[in-house]
Chain A
Amino acid sequence: MESQEKDFSPREVKGSPSTERIKFMRERYLSEPLIIDSEYINLYTKAHKNTDGKNVLERRAECHAYALENLTTSIKYPEPFVGSKTRFVRGAIPYCNYASQYIIREFNNEEHEAQDKVTDLGTGGGIAKAKELSQSGDYEFFSGKFLLSKEDKKELKECAEYWLGKSMQDVGDDLWKKVFEKAGYIENGWKAVLYTAPHDPAPEGRYVLDFETALNEGFESIINRMRNLIKETVVTDYESAEKIYFWRAGIRVLEATINWANNYAKAARAEAGKTNDKDKKLELLQIAERCENVPAKRPKDFREAMQSFWFIYLAGHIEGAQLGYSPGRFDRYMYPFYKADKEKGIISDIEVLELLEALRVKMTEIEYVASFSWEGLGSGNLYQNMILGGTDEHGRRGDNELSKLILQSAINCQTTQPTLSIWYEDTLSDEFLLKAVECVKTGCGFPAWFNLKVYIQHELEKSKLPLQTIRKYAAMGGCTEPTLEGMSYGVVQAGFINHMKIFEFALNGGTDPRTGIEFDKTKIPENYEELKETYKFHLRNAIANWQRYWNYAMAAHRQVCNLIYSSVLIRDCIGRGKSLDDGGAIVNGTPTTLSTGLVNVANSLAAVKKLNDLNEIREACNKNWEGFEKLRKKALGAPKWGNNDDFADEIYSELFESYCGYVSENKNYLGVPYDPSMLAISTHTPFGKVCGASPEGRYAGEPLCDGVTSPYPGTDVNGPISVLLSAGKIDHTKIRGGLHNMKFHPTVLKGVEGSKKLLQLIRSYFGYPGFQLQFNIVDSDMLKDAQLHPENYRDLIVRVAGFSAFFVELSKSIQDQVIQRTEHSI
């Protein structure tokens, strides 16, 4: 890379894997294609056929347990700890039990969902490799980016057909499409791309298991706890009987997880028997010993804790179609193991670093497959978020030596997963904070920075839990959504609402101009006030309908895909004898409603207010500004969000408050009010594609804003501080999550002085208090060169919207967005 970057301002920090082992693992990952593995779902389906009539919790547990116990164990030497989701390096499981329609459609080469037309996928890197191999004839190309072998195709096809009518999606559809009075609105909403496509194929995630208990107590002890509860419980009614079923289901999955670990022990011993290499043999035998001990028992040392963590974590990843399933406060719950070993002198930081770098590779190897349009929206990212720093329960600084090593591992071993975040507090140590900035300077886009104070206030208000609990367990589940580790319900309503589409309804009497579909008929507004109120009317309806629809889907989730393993490892499901879907978690308020494009609506309303001729603007938008170029110039000149201009900022704040209010008016499946959130992942591109020109000066089809509080690219003309002053005006405590992209040229952050100034910037913004900041520190000329010569930039990572991705695997339109984001330079 050295020579190719010479014409650009170089990245100040560039690391490389700290050992040959990690270098090998990373290279292996980078050279492997993406591939579909149908083994798990095939086993799961087999078990499902044999368990008809069982209680739903036990049936779900049995299917997963059977599949897990029978998975091929794949030891990918020289990995220092073992366990893989699939038989391949970059394998994905097609979860037919969640949804199988999209798989059948893919096989039939049918046109996909209405939204596929507006979806772009990446084409470079491992995706290109898959395409290349699919030419060989042994494989087919699946869902735009995966390889699928002939045998797997046969199995997968049978599974997909079996699950038609039985999958969570089909069971849900059978309910809401028949009984929900607004079903037509939802289906039209998909056609108009008011909403993201059905997300049944990958709905799980946004939670963190109780790793602390799972590691320290060990599964055998947890199983015993459940056995005792069964003994002590007197069955008197449906509820008490259901508890017994739940505990039995829980015991079954934990036992299966222990068996699965033991299978790895056997495989490692077998491998050891086959080799004459002394070191390799010893290593494999040590791995076998660890797999015999954990996760059944408490780990003896840090190495064993790493193995245990990986099994505990991965088993949850296998049980459900996860997005945003996260390791949480890893530096907190792993620290005691690290500290003990360091005190005993049995591990060095260099050895710890190698394990942490291996973890990065293994977490990046996990892939997922979902419907085509969801792949595009998520850019294939898994949003596994590891958050560092924060405080302990007393409010004392939460960073430690392990936190710094984790940052170092990300500097050394540049991979997209896990994404790192910082819970920012003024008490964090300087060395930790400077190390975090050093990591940002690699250009990989993480860690992202989150203001702990803001989240604490949010959670005090929402969950009313004690302050000390919130401090200790505050974590991040998914790209930017905070959650309480080990005690929060997961499945959020992962779908997004398109604000600009709602604005189009308002502008055009309740009809979508692109498809001609009428939603709720409203009067054509004649002025700013009427337009704003009409927009709010449609917003409120669009939110309420979307939330109510998802509650039906959750009813199907409870029947078909209730998570048993995760339930057992989230407090207080065992104590209450209830699964997550039955309200077992301590916090059930996490499910969020997500939306994109509010900045564009605010800017549009500001332009309408400023120009004060709505009829002319409407006509101009309908004609995509053709013949209205002078008006467009005026519209572009109207006040815009992100310039510390109250004219636009007050409109944004008002809409923000309305949004938060409407979201909280409705209850989720667990009877708790929905919690508002805004982020973008990659929705801003397809959402923008289906929207006509907007009064702010945007042309038809152009992307929407890629953040929550960041300005629309090119409209922030006053500089980065004004941008943050605008963003600081909304009440961030009202919302779970938030996203603010900033891009700096590498020269702005030069040296330790530059790092300190970035920290001062973060600290100041968090004083307002802002909630989130993330940075791209890459020369845009370099990114343009990477578009032309992807082969030279296979490992270049950039921040997109709440997640980091390999630049060359992003779709062209998302790449352009990253390049366009205003670059703050000196």
Chain B
Amino acid sequence: MGIIFNIQEYAVNDGEGIRTTVFLKGCPLKCDWCSNPEGQLPYPEIFQNKELCIKCYKCLEICKCKSITISPEGYPEFSRDNFKNCKEKECIEECIKNGLKEIGYEISAKKLFNKIKSNYLFYRNSNGGITLSGGEPFIQPEFVREILTLAKENGFSIGVETCGYFSYENVKDFIDDFDFFYFDIKTLNAEKHKDCTGLDNTVIINNFKKLCVNSAEKITVSIPLIQDFNADKNSITEIISFCKENNVNKARLLAYHNLGISKYEALGRKYKKEFAFISKDESESLKNLFIENGIQCTIE
């Protein structure tokens, strides 16, 4: 069994062709700019859309696990730790406005695969397939291995998007079987990395090097462009050198956006910090640095 929080069809930016992207839940990193905060914790969470709330307090009446109190603005407020252990979760059913949802669910690899397999004609006609994303897929190594095996049996292309922070030991037997990787390299500066993601990047850098031994040509380095963090010539030049040392010649830049901001509130968390947007000119000039160094690069 594994835990996922979304299956996205017709994903057109996660590899070649028409793909289905599966988002696995749980990630060791907690990046300040993360736009999928619902992917961070490895268990189901309550997702509360206050815009739909009519303050009927039916959820409060039915709650047995004492998760709910009333906020100063009059909205139900959840104790997330209590809710995590709640078995009934009747509040969700009770909310007639669908303002409460549970995000994240367990599913077996087989069941998941059967669901996405039915899109085969779309994959076949487009050289598409499946992409695992998250969260961090490789912290669920068994689940990932099962999906990979099923995909290979059916001849589907399968790729993975990883933050790089995982135990290589757990995946070393199968990781090279993936058809492609989007591997995040946020910065090579360990201190900055720890500051903005919560963890130091040593594990990531080591995993990257190990993966490059056999699979360098299958890797696209994925870089979120964040102002005052890595969106400058020096930081990018370092990443370029690192790519070249490891024979990786593809990169993808993702300019910062704050579209995930409302999800933080729905999850009862704070959006840590807003960053300035990156202008088109800035991202273009950083992209050109890659190209000048012989590395293919796209901006999304």
- Give the interface of A toward B (CB within 8 A): 629-630, 632-633, 636, 644, 718-722, 725, 748-749, 753-754, 756-757, 760-761, 763-764, 767-768, 824, 826
Which one of B114-122, B133-141, B221-229 is at the A interface?
Answer: B114-122
- Is the CB–CB distance between B119 and A725 below 8 Å? yes
Q: Is B154 positioned at the interface, with any CB of A under 8 Å from its CB?
A: no
A761 to B20: give the CA distance in the assembly, Å: 13
Question: In angstroms, how far is the closest chain A Cβ from the Cβ of B41?
Answer: 23
What string of 1s and 0s marks CB contacts (under 8 Å) between B1-17 and chain A?
Answer: 00000011111110001
A473 to B120: give the CA distance in the assembly, Å: 34
Residues of B within 8 A of A764 (CB): 18, 121-122, 124-126
- Is the CB–CB distance between B96 and A761 below 8 Å? no
Question: In angstroms, how far is the closest chain B Cβ from the Cβ of A7?
Answer: 13
Residues of B within 8 A of A632 (CB): 96
Q: Is B98 positioned at the interface, with any CB of A under 8 Å from its CB?
A: yes
Total B residues in contact with A, Cβ cutoff 8 Å: 23
Q: Given B8, B93, B118, which contacts A725 in the complex, CB threshold below 8 Å?
A: B118
Residues of B within 8 A of A768 (CB): 121
Residue of B nearest to A742 (CB): B10
Instruction: Give 15 new A-B contacts, CB below 8 A, not counting A721-B20, A748-B12.
Output: A633-B98, A719-B8, A719-B10, A721-B18, A722-B9, A725-B118, A725-B119, A756-B126, A757-B10, A757-B18, A760-B17, A764-B18, A764-B121, A767-B121, A826-B12
Question: In angstroms, how far is the closest chain A Cβ from the Cβ of B107?
Answer: 14
A719 to B119: give the CA distance in the assembly, Å: 11
A721 to B11: give the CA distance in the assembly, Å: 10
- Is the CB–CB distance between A757 and B12 below 8 Å? yes
Residues of A within 8 A of B125 (CB): 760, 763-764, 767
A718 to B13: give the CA distance in the assembly, Å: 18
- Tell me the number of A-to-B contacts counted with CB atoms below 8 Å: 63
Sampled A-B contacts (9; CB under 8 Å) = A629-B96, A630-B96, A633-B95, A720-B10, A725-B118, A754-B12, A757-B10, A757-B17, A760-B125
Q: Given A633, A719, A767, which contacts B9 in the complex, CB threshold below 8 Å?
A: A719
Question: In angstroms, how far is the closest chain B Cβ from the Cβ of A2?
Answer: 16
A764 to B96: give the CA distance in the assembly, Å: 38
What string of 1s and 0s marks CB contacts (under 8 Å) between B98-133 and chain A?
Answer: 100000000000000000001101101110100000
Residue of B nearest to A628 (CB): B96
Q: Given A629, A757, A826, which contacts B126 in the complex, CB threshold below 8 Å?
A: A757
Residues of A within 8 A of B96 (CB): 629-630, 632-633
Question: In angstroms, how far is the closest chain B Cβ from the Cβ of A758?
Answer: 9
Residues of A within 8 A of B98 (CB): 633, 636
Question: In angstroms, how far is the closest chain B Cβ from the Cβ of A464?
Answer: 31
Question: In angstroms, how far is the closest chain A Cβ from the Cβ of B44?
Answer: 18
Residue of A nearest to B6 (CB): A719
Residues of B within 8 A of A753 (CB): 12
A753 to B20: give the CA distance in the assembly, Å: 17
B residues 2-47 with Cβ under 8 Å of A? 7-13, 17-18, 20
Question: In angstroms, how far is the closest chain A Cβ from the Cβ of B96?
Answer: 4
A756 to B122: give the CA distance in the assembly, Å: 12
Residues of A within 8 A of B10 (CB): 719-721, 748, 757, 761, 824
Residue of B nearest to A629 (CB): B96
Residue of A nearest to B98 (CB): A633
Question: In angstroms, how far is the closest chain B Cβ from the Cβ of A750?
Answer: 8
Question: In angstroms, how far is the closest chain B Cβ from the Cβ of A229?
Answer: 52
Q: Given B18, B20, B94, which contacts A760 in the complex, CB threshold below 8 Å?
A: B18
A757 to B126: give the CA distance in the assembly, Å: 7
Q: List the 10 closest pairs (A to B, CB-CB), nearest first.
A: A719-B9, A760-B126, A629-B96, A721-B9, A764-B122, A764-B125, A764-B121, A720-B10, A721-B119, A760-B125
- State the main secondary structure of chain A at its contact with B: helix
Question: In angstroms, how far is the closest chain B Cβ from the Cβ of A214?
Answer: 40
Question: In angstroms, how far is the closest chain B Cβ from the Cβ of A549?
Answer: 43
A496 to B82: give the CA distance in the assembly, Å: 55
User: Given that A633-B96, A633-B98 are contacting pairs, would A761 and B122 also be in contact in the complex, using a CB cutoff of 8 Å?
Assistant: yes
A757 to B10: give the CA distance in the assembly, Å: 9
- Is the CB–CB distance between B9 and A718 below 8 Å? yes
Residues of B within 8 A of A721 (CB): 9-10, 18, 20, 119, 122
Question: In angstroms, how far is the closest chain A Cβ from the Cβ of B170?
Answer: 31
Residue of B nearest to A824 (CB): B10
- Is the CB–CB distance between B7 and A718 below 8 Å? yes
Residues of B within 8 A of A761 (CB): 10, 18, 122, 126
B residues 62-87 with Cβ under 8 Å of A? none
A761 to B128: give the CA distance in the assembly, Å: 11
A826 to B36: give the CA distance in the assembly, Å: 13
Residues of B within 8 A of A748 (CB): 10, 12
Question: In angstroms, how far is the closest chain A Cβ from the Cβ of B117?
Answer: 11
A756 to B126: give the CA distance in the assembly, Å: 9
Residues of A within 8 A of B95 (CB): 633
A763 to B8: give the CA distance in the assembly, Å: 20
Residues of A within 8 A of B13 (CB): 826
A230 to B5: give the CA distance in the assembly, Å: 77
- Is the CB–CB distance between B126 and A719 below 8 Å? no
A644 to B128: give the CA distance in the assembly, Å: 19
What string of 1s and 0s marks CB contacts (under 8 Å) between B182-196 and chain A?
Answer: 000000000000000
Residues of B within 8 A of A760 (CB): 17-18, 122, 125-126, 128
B residues 117-176 with Cβ under 8 Å of A? 118-119, 121-122, 124-126, 128
Question: In angstroms, how far is the closest chain A Cβ from the Cβ of B82?
Answer: 24
A222 to B110: give the CA distance in the assembly, Å: 69
Residues of A within 8 A of B17 (CB): 757, 760
Which among B118, B124, B126, B128 has the highest number of chain A CB atoms within 10 Å? Answer: B126
Which among B9, B12, B128 has the highest number of chain A CB atoms within 10 Å? Answer: B12
Residue of B nearest to A826 (CB): B13
Question: In angstroms, how far is the closest chain A Cβ from the Cβ of B1?
Answer: 21
Residue of B nearest to A630 (CB): B96
Which among A632, A636, A725, A768 has the highest number of chain B CB atoms within 10 Å? Answer: A725
A768 to B118: give the CA distance in the assembly, Å: 12
Question: In angstroms, how far is the closest chain A Cβ from the Cβ of B108?
Answer: 18
Question: In angstroms, how far is the closest chain B Cβ from the Cβ of A650?
Answer: 15
Residues of A within 8 A of B119 (CB): 721, 725
Residue of A nearest to B13 (CB): A826
A768 to B93: give the CA distance in the assembly, Å: 37
User: Given that A754-B12, A761-B18, A767-B125 are contacting pairs, would A644 and B7 also be in contact in the complex, using a CB cutoff of 8 Å?
Assistant: no
Question: In angstroms, how far is the closest chain A Cβ from the Cβ of B135?
Answer: 18
A749 to B8: give the CA distance in the assembly, Å: 16
Residue of A nearest to B96 (CB): A629
Residues of A within 8 A of B124 (CB): 764
Question: In angstroms, how far is the closest chain A Cβ from the Cβ of B47?
Answer: 14
Residues of A within 8 A of B128 (CB): 760
A629 to B52: give the CA distance in the assembly, Å: 14
Which among A629, A749, A768 has the highest number of chain B CB atoms within 10 Å? Answer: A629
Question: In angstroms, how far is the closest chain B Cβ from the Cβ of A745?
Answer: 11
Residue of B nearest to A758 (CB): B12
Question: In angstroms, how far is the closest chain B Cβ from the Cβ of A152?
Answer: 53
Residues of B within 8 A of A718 (CB): 7, 9
Residue of A nearest to B122 (CB): A764
Question: In angstroms, how far is the closest chain A Cβ from the Cβ of B280?
Answer: 12
Question: In angstroms, how far is the closest chain A Cβ from the Cβ of B9?
Answer: 3
Question: In angstroms, how far is the closest chain A Cβ from the Cβ of B262?
Answer: 15
Which among B11, B18, B20, B121 has the highest number of chain A CB atoms within 10 Å? Answer: B121
- Is the CB–CB distance between B7 and A826 below 8 Å? no
Residues of B within 8 A of A629 (CB): 96
- Is the CB–CB distance between A719 and B122 below 8 Å? no
A768 to B122: give the CA distance in the assembly, Å: 10
A124 to B214: give the CA distance in the assembly, Å: 63
A768 to B11: give the CA distance in the assembly, Å: 20
Question: In angstroms, how far is the closest chain A Cβ from the Cβ of B75?
Answer: 19
A757 to B98: give the CA distance in the assembly, Å: 34
Question: In angstroms, how far is the closest chain A Cβ from the Cβ of B279?
Answer: 14
A826 to B17: give the CA distance in the assembly, Å: 14
Question: In angstroms, how far is the closest chain B Cβ from the Cβ of A370?
Answer: 39
Residues of B within 8 A of A757 (CB): 10, 12, 17-18, 126
